[in-house]
Amino acid sequence: MAVTQGADLIGVSTIFYGFGGIPLVEKVGKILNAFEAAEVPALIQVGASRPERNYTDIVRELTRLGQEVEVKFSIHQSIWLPSADFYINIASSDERMRRSSIESLKKSIVFARDIGASQLSFHAGYATDMLTQAVEYGPLDVQNNVPYADAYRNSISSMIELLEYAEREVRLSIENSNYRPERRYMFSLPEDFDRLPENIGVILNSGHVYYSSKRLNSPEYAKKIMGCVKERVMEMHVNDNDGSEDQHKLVGYGRAPIEQMIEQVSMNGKVPNLIIEAHQRRHHYLDSDLVENIKTLVSLEETVRKSFSLN
């Protein structure tokens, strides 16, 4: 599968096969099979996961795949965590928690360099000291709330440290969160992104945009937030929902106006990399459903490109 140089790519996150369960390399192999079946060049995002221990073997195997199959990689969050129940929070006022979060992301930067990935995206944090998640895909539980002003200050300080560590070799992006004040989520409102350091990008999550617009009952929300971030968007997490919850469905299985979102953040006809971030087990999807969704995204991207060429 030859990858056209400079082309915008369709991608799939490894969290399609869960955060735990099968090993990372096996998830990558299954996703590669889907791309081959769809006859589309592969971009695979190594998503948030339970800790992986055998670093050398993983790097060697992913590097081999990158050379043999010409798959491209990006990274979201980290699989290099101090424990299986650890949840990254670079906005924490608990210095031990914040340091552990930064170090986990620094390991992701090294991992990106080692497998030839140029993009690392991550969550910019939560206005709480700690988070836990009792059930995979379940809601996050917050512990020890932190004032938002302190949390944003902590988050920005952490980002600046990570930027210095990445040394422009790996582009860093944060993800727009759902509007969930009861869970102390940050970077969910348009004005929040005015705080971002200059060289931090955004990975735009379509499902988060749609859920938040419904939660806020604001028809203008999507337009406003995408207007604020469009010049920073290099990747999109493309997932769908019905507006009642952040469901991480495949594209077209909910009500989010994904084609319009892609169009709104495409700069001069250049479409960002579109990464499917759906949950197979949560929605009982088949591998064949993933293949068809890759094809659906290809069609959406082509439609967006044509709309720019006609204008």
Question: Tell me: the pLDDT tens digits for 239-268?
Answer: 999 999 999 999 999 999 999 999 999 977
- Residue 311 pLDDT: 61
Going by pLDDT thresholds of 50, 70 and 90, the confidence category of residue 310 is low
User: For the whole model, what pTM was predicted?
Assistant: 0.95
Residue 3 has pLDDT above 50, yes or no: no
> What is the fold of 10-310?
TIM Barrel (3.20.20)
Residue 12 has pLDDT above 80, yes or no: yes
For the chain, what percent of residues have pLDDT higher than 70?
Answer: 97
User: Mean pLDDT for the chain?
Assistant: 93
- Residue 53 pLDDT: 79
Q: Which positions ≥6 away from 29 have C-beta within 8 Å? A: none
Residue 234 has pLDDT above 60, yes or no: yes
